Amino acid sequence: MIELDSITKYYGNYPAVTDISFRVEKGEILGFLGPNGAGKSTTMKIITGFVPPTEGTCSVAGNDILTNSLAARRHIGYLPETVPLYTDMTVSDYLEFMGRIRELKGEHLRKRVDSVVQICRLEEYFDTFISKLSKGFRQRVGIAQSIIHEPDVLILDEPTIGIDPIQVVETRELIKNLGGEHTLIVSTHILPEVSMICERVIIIHEGQIVAVDKPENLATRLRGTERVEIDVAGPTREIVSALEKVPGVESVNRKNSLSDKGYSSFEIEAERGLEIRSELAISIVKNKWDLLRLEAVGMSLEEIFLRLTTTEDATQDGENLGIEEVSNNE
């Protein structure tokens, strides 16, 4: 549905995006993740045809975005990150206008306006001037505008920013439901959001793709170490030295003490692929310490994100990413 082939974009001499290629299949929800200035918005502007790429080609629904621009644009619904709205118009006038320039008319247009107003919970503000809406409601009008013509392809640049938590949940539901018939690209800073709504994630950093995978695979692939958390009562120093002797263990860190009864939490990292939990338990029991909890923990998306975008060799070698340590050891 969407196809980018070695897209490069220079703003003057500054490369905002370098050599990006990927495909998005029909019905897929793709997450776009990256720190500020990574080039997410720039890539989206290229896909929507607003910014022409310096090099490379991009097509939407089989139409090249430069040479067959109008045809490509007919397939696209777009919410830019600035949420552009005509502040001098009422919500209903605005939505009607946006529908009209997307080639809706008459009865169908009216139905679509009513429908998106309902979907985005804007009924109360139907005749309010946009200049009088709060940030969150403007965001909703922006989303409403992007889906009014039921586009095949939806490009949403940080769609949940500025929306209250309840509405955020609803908006994510909405986005998820749009997948299937629509093809979506959603950019965001909010990492859990990606695993909630996206089937595939592209992590982009300094204008380059550093990882592409399913959110859950990303976690396993990057987990260079197995990690276990335990709560134990006992003398800290002895516990640490005993556990460090367990084969495969690379580091033991005391995280915090649980106020009553002398329990403390420890975080243990071990070589990749090793199952050390039983060994740990045996060692603790042998020393007659009280074991309250023993749990293997995966890496959160936040940590993956940090590793991918803060390690030096992140862009060179995706496979070794997890082995680079960031800041867990003392």
Partner 1 sequence: MNNTLTIAWKELKIYFQTPTAYVVSAMFVVFAGITFILNVIGTNPEATVRSFVVPSSIFYILLAPLLTMRLLAEEQKLGTLELLLTSPVRDWEVVLGKYIASLVILIATLAATLYYVIMIYAFGEPDSGPVMSAYLGMILYGAAALAIGMLASSLTSNQIVSAVLGMGTLLILTFIDTLGSRLGGVTGDIVLEISMRTHFGDFARGIVDTSHIVYYLSIIAIFLFLAVRSVETRRWR
Ligand X SMILES: Nc1ncnc2c1ncn2[C@@H]1O[C@H](COP(=O)(O)OP(=O)(O)OP(=O)(O)O)[C@@H](O)[C@H]1O
Q: Which residues bind ligand X (CB under 6 A)?
A: 11, 14, 16, 34, 36-42, 81
Nearest distance, CB of residue 36 and ligand X, angstroms: 3
Residue (155 or 276) nearer to Mg ion, CB = 155
Check: CB of residue 10 under 8 Å from CB of residue 16: yes
Residue (161 or 291) nearer to Mg ion, CB = 161
DSSP 183-223: EEEEEES-HHHHHHH-SEEEEEETTEEEEEE-HHHHHHHH-
Nearest distance, CB of residue 101 and partner 1, angstroms: 5
Q: Residue 16: which of ligand X, Mg ion, partner 1, none does it interact with, CB under 5 to 8 A by kind?
A: ligand X
Residues 41, 31: Cα–Cα separation, whole Å: 13
Closest CA to 263 of 247, 278, 284, 279: 284
Q: Residue 97: which of Mg ion, ligand X, partner 1, none does it interact with, CB under 5 to 8 A by kind?
A: partner 1
Tell me the two tokens of residue 199: 């089937």
Q: Which residues bind partner 1 (CB under 8 A)?
A: 45, 48-52, 70, 73-74, 76, 78, 80, 82, 84-89, 93, 97-98, 100-103, 145
Q: How many CB atoms lie within 10 A of CB 155?
A: 26
State the DSSP code for 323.
Answer: G
Nearest distance, CB of residue 195 and ligand X, angstroms: 18
Angle at 99 between CA 95 and CA 101, to 5 degrees: 120
Nearest distance, CB of residue 200 and ligand X, angstroms: 18
Q: Residue 36: which of Mg ion, ligand X, partner 1, none does it interact with, CB under 5 to 8 A by kind?
A: ligand X
Q: Residue 260: which of partner 1, Mg ion, ligand X, none does it interact with, CB under 5 to 8 A by kind?
A: none
Nearest distance, CB of residue 226 and partner 1, angstroms: 47
Angle at 126 between CA 123 and CA 132, to 5 degrees: 115
Q: How many CB atoms lie within 10 A of CB 330?
A: 6
Closest CA to 43 of 32, 27, 35, 28: 32
Q: Residue 42: which of partner 1, ligand X, Mg ion, none does it interact with, CB under 5 to 8 A by kind?
A: ligand X
Distances (CA, A) of 296 to 147, 247, 259, 264: 42, 17, 23, 16
Residue (146 or 264) nearer to partner 1, CB = 146
Nearest distance, CB of residue 209 and ligand X, angstroms: 12
Closest CA to 140 of 173, 180, 165, 168: 168
Q: Residue 38: which of Mg ion, ligand X, partner 1, none does it interact with, CB under 5 to 8 A by kind?
A: ligand X
Q: Which residues bind Mg ion (CB under 5 A)?
A: 40-41, 81
The amino acid that residue 40 corresponds to is K
Residue (81 or 170) nearer to ligand X, CB = 81
Residue (4 or 270) nearer to ligand X, CB = 4
Q: Residue 138: which of Mg ion, partner 1, ligand X, none does it interact with, CB under 5 to 8 A by kind?
A: none
Residue (158 or 269) nearer to Mg ion, CB = 158
Q: How many CB atoms lie within 10 A of CB 120?
A: 24
Residue (54 or 195) nearer to partner 1, CB = 54
Residue (78 or 263) nearer to ligand X, CB = 78
